[in-house]
Amino acid sequence: MSPEFAVFIMMNNYFHDVATAMLFATGLIMWLIVRHYNKAGNEDLGHFVLRMHRRMRGVILVSLVWITVSAIPRILTFTRFEWHTAVEKKHIIGLIAKHTVAFIILVSGAMLWIHLNRLIKALPAYKAGRDNTDLF
């Protein structure tokens, strides 16, 4: 494997992990925003919540596309790049743990976003169709 290709794979794997973390992190932030909105009971915050949801959803869609597309080179080079290094350094358990945690974060983030979409659709501002984009 050429040094340039190795750098490409290393960066691909790094950004794949970042996109996975973004799925969960944006879901957690959005959940906190919705939770605050529900506790505050301020109808005007509904506009903000809906706009934040739209923007966060855009980040999520980009993350999901990146996770899907960047998985291809990651899978194709796994045994030559990640597995080989883990075997040489005797870090196999660490590599398995890393991928297990990444999978848990990915599934948790996806489940969180499914739940969030249900919460958003239950908001009074969503039901009223009051999402004015000119406020933000």
What share of the chain has pLDDT > 70, as a percent?
95
pLDDT at position 136 over 70: no
pTM: 0.81
Identify residue 88 by its one-letter amino acid code. E
Say what the pLDDT of residue 130 is. 52
Number of residues that this document lists for the chain: 136
Tens of pLDDT along 24-63? 999 999 999 998 888 887 777 888 888 899 999 999 999 9
Integer-rounded Cα Rg, in Å, for the chain is: 19
- E-assigned strands of 43-125? none
- Rounded to a whole number, what is the largest CA-CA distance in the chain? 60
Tens of pLDDT along 71-98? 999 999 998 888 988 999 999 999 999 9
Say what the pLDDT of residue 135 is. 40
CA dihedral 45, 49, 54, 56 (to 10 degrees): 140
